[in-house]
Amino acid sequence: MKQLIALCAFTVVVTPGVRDAEIAAAVKSRVDAKKSAGMVVATIEPDGSSSFAAYGDPGPDARPLDADSVFEIGSITKVFTATLLADMADRGEVTLDDPVALYVPAGVRIPERNGRKITLLDLATQSSALPRLPGNMHARDPKNPYADYTTDDLFAFLSGYELTRDVGAQYEYSNLGVGLLGQALSRKAGKSYEALVDERILKPLKMEHSGITLTPWMREHLARGHNAQLQIVPNWDLPALAGAGALRSTMNDMLKFARANLDASAGRLSRVMQTTHERRRAAGSPDMSIGLAWHIRHADGRDIVWHNGGTGGYRTWLGFDKGRRVAAIVLTNSSLSNDDLGFALVK
């Protein structure tokens, strides 16, 4: 039974759990301090229960925030792309060491350096030597900067780009790289990225209100995005780089995704997910490494597996400690970071 607690002009929705009051207080204080327009936050506890709170401004003519509110999850999409890679490798459809050049149209040149080709693993571990963004992005609308960037633009950039360092030499976060990974996997599967992620992840996990295209239900439940000044901004569209950040989801659905990552015994997909959490390469600091898209932070004798996301109007965070079987999810409808809250709730 959900409990509704009226606070100021908003409503805090709390689901009974061991940390419901703690989370509700944290969410309220941050929204009141204008660190977000609104927040929906949940944890998974060691006993499998969940605690949950929602508070803040969903935007004009929008439903009050709750576990069914729809948010852009931004770069958390990258761990879905990595899950697709692990799933396709498990099925024998690709291998991690396949050059990405195998999965682009004939005539497209994928840059190499010193005889080293960019592999699917390089893309998934942010060590491809590709830049963060392609240099030929010239957005007609800065408030929706990826919307008019096409697949033709992407392949034209790659064909003309020269790598400035060796492939695999160091970690450098690249939306371009993981967007290219999504393109490669969808081309191998013979369907769009959206159709592939729906078939391989969303439907098996019964994530019924997640996807890229806003269904009528998702549009009705959309929390409106806000910028850092808490002004309403448009949603983002990423047609060519969908695998880097195009997904939208709800807390109810993200809890399903988090539980599947925590429980290796929940089925084949959950077992495959475990391979995405394995350390593959260093990630820029002594306490950080990277698996397949997931970052792994080692602190206080334990590992936190995590990823965050951000678009023009949203910031999100998902992380878990598999040893303690705890997880936290932070969904906000503004572009201000609240990553520290996610880490605090997991720790």
- In the predicted model, is pLDDT for residue 317 greater than 80? yes
Contact 161, 135 (CB under 8 A): yes
pLDDT at 301: 87
Residues of the chain above pLDDT 90, percent: 91
Whether residue 39 contacts residue 55, with contact meaning beta carbons closer than 8 Å, is answered with yes
Number of residues that this document lists for the chain: 347
Structure confidence at residue 16 as a pLDDT band (50, 70, 90): low
Greater pLDDT, 97 or 21: 97
Where are the domains positioned within the chain?
A: 3-76+196-346, 92-190
Query: How large is the C-alpha radius of gyration of the chain?
Result: 20
64 residue type, one letter? P
- pLDDT band, residue 180 (cuts 50/70/90): very high
pLDDT tier, 9 (very low <50, low <70, confident <90, very high otherwise): very low
User: What is the average pLDDT value for the chain, to the nearest integer?
Assistant: 94
pLDDT at 299: 83
For residues 45-56, b (16+ Cβ closer than 10 Å) or e, as one string? Answer: eeeeebbbbbbb
* 10-19, 178-187, 211-220: segment of lowest average pLDDT: 10-19
Instruction: Indicate the SS3 state at residue 122.
Output: helix
Q: What is the phi/psi pair of residue 18, to 5°?
A: -70, -20
Residue 341 has pLDDT above 80, yes or no: yes
- The confidence score (pLDDT) of residue 314 equals 98
User: What is the rounded distance in angstroms from the CA atom of residue 338 to the CA atom of residue 318?
Assistant: 11
pLDDT for res 112: 97
* pLDDT surpassing 70 at residue 231: yes
**Interval 97-113: pLDDT, tens:** 999 999 999 999 999 99
With respect to CATH, is domain 3-76+196-346 assigned 3.40.710.10? yes
pLDDT band at 6 (very low <50, low <70, confident <90, very high): very low
Q: Is 0.85 surpassed by the pTM of this model?
A: yes
For residue 283, the number of C-alpha atoms closer than 13 Å in the C-beta half-sphere is 22
Per-residue pLDDT tens over the stretch 68-95: 999 999 999 999 999 999 999 999 999 9
Is 50 exceeded by the pLDDT of residue 1?
A: no
> Confidence band (pLDDT; 50, 70, 90) for 10?
very low
Q: Which token pair is 23?
A: 């989370």
Which of 313, 322, 70, 95 is CA-nearest to residue 211?
Answer: 70
Per-residue model confidence as pLDDT tens digits over 65-75? 999 999 999 99
Residue 8 has pLDDT above 50, yes or no: no
SS3 3: strand
288-312 confidence digits (pLDDT tens): 999 999 999 998 889 999 999 999 9
Query: Is residue 2 over pLDDT 70?
Result: no
Single-letter amino acid code for the residue at 163: L
Distance (Å, whole) CA 137 – CA 90 = 35
Give the pLDDT score at 239: 97
CB 193 within 8 A of CB 182: yes
The first and second tokens of residue 4, run together, are 């509704």
Whole-number pLDDT of residue 77? 98
Residue 12 pLDDT > 90: no
| pLDDT of the residue at 14 | 42
> What is the percentage of the chain residues whose pLDDT exceeds 70?
95
- Note the pLDDT of residue 4: 28
Closest by CA position to 307, among listed 292, 299, 317: 317
